[in-house]
Amino acid sequence: MTSVAPTLTDQLLSNEWRTLFAVTKPCAQLEITMIEELLKAELSHHIELNALAGQREMRNGYWKRTMPTRHDAKIVIRVPRDRANRFESLLLPHHRRHFYGFTDRILAMYVGWPKAQQIKKILVKLYESRLTRDLTPYVIDAAFRVLHEWHEKPLSPSYPVALFASLPITSREWKWQRARPTYFALGLLNDGSSVLLGLWSGEGDDRALWTNMLTDLAFRGLEQIAVVLTSGACDELAYPSDEIDSTMSRQCKVNHVHKLSDLASAASRWLVINEIERQSPLEHPPYARPGAAQHQGHID
């Protein structure tokens, strides 16, 4: 039997155990990846326009720009540049200092994929109507490449703990007058680090939502979660443990379900740790594509 790593045990029993389930940094990484790919698409368009005009242009590395986001967080973006220093992004022009709303709109793209019309409308708002007709195909293609890669990203076979909770995204991206429930799953590894497993729109009844989430996770390689914790709107979703039969359709197996709010005492968290140890999950390291070496943005 493989016990849960001491680092995760110590963090679950510490006074700062709730920080394990903060989704801010994983979401910020999605934001960084999307913004940087859109900027690369803009530069490709800029270089092609110059080539048509008979001007030879070349890429010339990156410069870093700090962006404030919601909850007083900051992210550092690598902005590409050209050798002649004539390129200025329409998404992040030099004079722009306020970037509030970026997080909601970018996360809305991850949730709304693969609905092309919604993605296009969100991009138009993201660019604040500065998106030109000839640039539009470049940024749409870049956005869909990022979304496709993230939604197809393989996961580890098992996680000791996963949090299922609601993500507060405003409804303006869909022109609705009410909040649209959006749910996320955050997986914890044995060292206490977290991975954003998925984002889903809360459409349909409870059973359909759970089936959708567990089927999507299983499709990307996740076979078992020892303990699922729910929070926020997910507390109201009755987990149909007796109804979902993972043998009938390919779904991620869940062994125990608790509410995050019930883990206030150390004794209750010890119960979770014991459940993790009995299941002995996470015998494989997190998936990493050979030779991927993709840039990871900086998050303050």
Same domain for 110 and 173?
no
- Would you say 124 and 91 are in contact if contact means Cβ atoms under 8 Å apart? no
Q: What are the tokens at 289?
A: 């594509």
Look at residues 147, 157, 186, 154 and name the one whose alpha carbon lies nearest to residue 21. 186
Question: What is the three-state SS of the chain?
Answer: CCCCCHHHHHHHHCCCHHHHHCCHHHHHHHHHHHHHHHHHHHHHHHHHHHHHCCCCCCEEEEEEEEEECHHHCEEEEEEEEECCCCCCCCCCCCCCCCCCCHHHHHHHHHHHCCCHHHHHHHHHHHCCCCCCCCCHHHHHHHHHHHHHHHHCCCCCCEEEEEEEEEECCCHHHHCCCCCCCEEEEEEECCCCCEEEEEEEECCCCHHHHHHHHHHHHHHCCCCEEEEEEEEHHHHHCCCCCCCCCCCCCCCCEEEEEEEHHHHCCHHHHHHHHHHHHHHCCCCCCCCCCCCCCCCCCEEC
Express each pLDDT in 195-232 by its tens digit. Answer: 999 998 876 667 788 888 999 999 999 999 999 999 98
Same domain for 146 and 247?
no
Q: What are the tokens at 8?
A: 């995760």
Residue 289 resides in a domain: no
Same domain for 176 and 235?
yes
Residues 6+ apart with CB under 8 A from 58: 47, 82, 83
Same domain for 123 and 222?
no
Cα–Cα dist 209/88, whole Å: 43
Last residue of a domain, one of 151, 172, 205: 151
pLDDT value at 248 more than 60: no
Q: pLDDT band for 282, please (50, 70, 90 cuts).
A: very low
Cα–Cα dist 63/88, whole Å: 12
Same domain for 101 and 161?
no
What integer pLDDT is reported at residue 54 of this predicted model?
84
Same domain for 140 and 220?
no
What integer pLDDT is reported at residue 6 of this predicted model?
61
What is the mean predicted confidence (pLDDT) over 42-50?
A: 92
Give the global pTM.
0.82
Q: Which of 37-41, 231-235, 271-275 has the highest mean pLDDT?
A: 37-41
Q: Which of 150-164, 177-191, 278-292 has the highest mean pLDDT?
A: 150-164
pLDDT value at 138 more than 60: yes
Q: pLDDT band for 177, please (50, 70, 90 cuts).
A: very low
- Distances in whole angstroms, Cα of residue 254 to Cα of each of 145, 183, 194, 279: 31, 17, 18, 10
What integer pLDDT is reported at residue 150 of this predicted model?
93
Phi, psi (5° rounding) for residue 74?
A: -135, 145
Question: 242, exposed or middle or buried, with CB in 10 Å at 0-12, 13-18, 19+?
Answer: exposed
Residue 59 resides in a domain: yes
Last residue of a domain, one of 151, 184, 199: 151
Residue 296 resides in a domain: no
- Would you say 41 and 139 are in contact if contact means Cβ atoms under 8 Å apart? yes
Q: pLDDT band for 188, please (50, 70, 90 cuts).
A: very high
What is the residue whose two structure tokens read 């680090």?
193
What integer pLDDT is reported at residue 289 of this predicted model?
34
What integer pLDDT is reported at residue 185 of this predicted model?
95
Phi, psi (5° rounding) for residue 196?
A: -75, 115
Last residue of a domain, one of 151, 179, 213: 151
Q: What are the tokens at 111?
A: 């949730």
Cα–Cα dist 1/19, whole Å: 28
Residue 44 resides in a domain: yes
Express each pLDDT in 120-136 by its tens digit. Answer: 888 988 998 788 999 99
Q: Which of 73-82, 170-179, 272-281 has the highest mean pLDDT?
A: 73-82
pLDDT value at 178 more than 60: no
What is the mean predicted confidence (pLDDT) over 143-162?
A: 93
Residue-number span of the structural domain to which 145 is assigned? 26-151
Express each pLDDT in 53-105 by its tens digit. Answer: 888 888 889 999 998 877 677 899 999 999 888 899 999 988 877 776 788 88
Which stretch of 32-36, 39-43, 209-213 has the lowest confidence by average pLDDT?
209-213
Same domain for 113 and 43?
yes
Based on the structure, what is the number of domains in the chain?
Answer: 2
